[in-house]
Amino acid sequence: MRETGREIDQLRSIDIQTNFTKHAEGSVLITVGDTKVICNASVEDRVPPFMRGSGKGWITAEYAMLPRATETRNIRESSKGKVSGRTMEIQRLIGRSLRAVVDLEAIGERTIWVDCDVIQADGGTRTASITGAFVAVVHALGKLLKEEKIKSLPITDYLAAISVGVLPDGTEILDLEYSEDAQAHVDMNVVMTGKGEFVELQGTGEEATFTNTQLTKMLALADKGLKEIFEMQAEAINPYQENIEQS
C-alpha cells in the first residue's frame, strides 16, 4: 500500500465525460483522481504551409494550465509572452502520440487541433491529456464520418498514456499523483496503442538513475494500467468502437 492508500499497481479513479463544451467537434473532460483536463478537438479545413498540396492531413496539439490549476498560482504564459519549455515538450508529445494512430492520408488536407487545458492539476496532466485527447479526436473524426466528408474512421488503434515511477524506497508504482511525483527518483511516461506497442517512452531520473530491471518492472505496471484505460476509452468513444479494429 502507498501513502495515498492505493495499491502499487492501482490506477486512480478515471472519468471521461464527452460532449463537454458545445462548439468543439470533439470535447472531453477527463478526470484522473484530482487531475481534470478539458480536451477539445477542432477540425480546420486546411493544413499548415509545409504540408499544402501533399493530400495529407495534420494533427497538432496545444497544452496549457489555468493559472490556478496548481497549489500556488502560476503566471499565465500569455502574460509572460512566451510558452515555457515544459509546455512545448508536452504539446509536441501529445501531437506526435496522436499522429501514430491516425491515418493522416485518410483525413485529407485537414488539420485536427487538439487543445488540452488543465483546469485542476494533481500529477499526470500530460498522460491524462493524451488519454482524453484520443477520445476527443475520435469524436471529431466521427463527426466528419457522419457528415460523409471521410469514408471510414481513420483511426488505426486505441491510444492512451500513463505514468510509472520509482519511489525513494525503490518501489515501482503506477499512476503517480502529485505528492508521489514530487518525491519520486524516476518518472516515466508510457504512451501505448491498444495492441500493446509503444508510441513514446520517456523515462527520466531526477538527479538519479534507474536500472534495466527497474525499467522492466515499470513497463509491466504501465501495461496493466493501460489495459484498464483502453476499456474506459472504448465506452467513451461509443458509437465508434466498432470502427477501430481491436487488437
Indicate which single residue of 9, 106, 181, 205 sits in contact with a second copy (rule: CB under 8 A). 205
Determine, following the binding rule CB under 8 A, whether residue 110 of this chain makes contact with a second copy.
Answer: no
Determine, following the binding rule CB under 8 A, whether residue 13 of this chain makes contact with a second copy.
Answer: no
Minimum CB distance to a second copy smaller for 64 or for 145: 64
- Binding to a second copy (CB under 8 A) within 64-103 occurs at 64, 66-71, 73, 76-89, 91-92, 96, 99-100
Exposed/middle/buried for 170, CB within 10 Å: 0-12, 13-18, 19+?
exposed
HSE (CB half, 13 Å, CA atoms) of 53? 2
Contact indicator for 219, 186 with CB cutoff of 8 Å: no
Taking the C-alpha atoms of residue 46 and residue 58, their distance in angstroms, rounded to an integer, is 9
For strand 58-65 and strand 111-120, is the pairing parallel, antiparallel, or unpaired? Answer: parallel
Minimum CB distance to a second copy smaller for 1 or for 94: 94
Minimum CB distance to a second copy smaller for 153 or for 235: 153
- Binding to a second copy (CB under 8 A) within 113-152 occurs at 113, 115, 117, 119-121
Q: State yes or no: 126 annotated in a binding site.
A: yes
What is the secondary structure of 149-207 as a DSSP string? Answer: SSSS--B-S-EEEEEEEE-TTS-EEES--HHHHTT-SEEEEEEEETTS-EEEEEEEESS
The region of 10-18, 208-216, 225-233, 237-245 touching a second copy under the rule CB under 8 A is: 208-216
Determine, following the binding rule CB under 8 A, whether residue 179 of this chain makes contact with a second copy.
Answer: no
Determine, following the binding rule CB under 8 A, whether residue 242 of this chain makes contact with a second copy.
Answer: no
H/E segment holding residue 114: strand 111-120
HSE (CB half, 13 Å, CA atoms) of 126? 23
Determine, following the binding rule CB under 8 A, whether residue 231 of this chain makes contact with a second copy.
Answer: no
Q: State yes or no: 125 annotated in a binding site.
A: yes
Q: What is the DSSP letter of 101?
A: T
Q: Which residue has the cell 515555457?
A: 84
Annotated binding site for phosphate: 86, 124-126
Q: Which residues bind a second copy (CB under 8 A)?
A: 21-24, 27, 34, 36, 38, 40, 42, 44, 62, 64, 66-71, 73, 76-89, 91-92, 96, 99-100, 104, 113, 115, 117, 119-121, 188, 193, 195-212, 215, 219
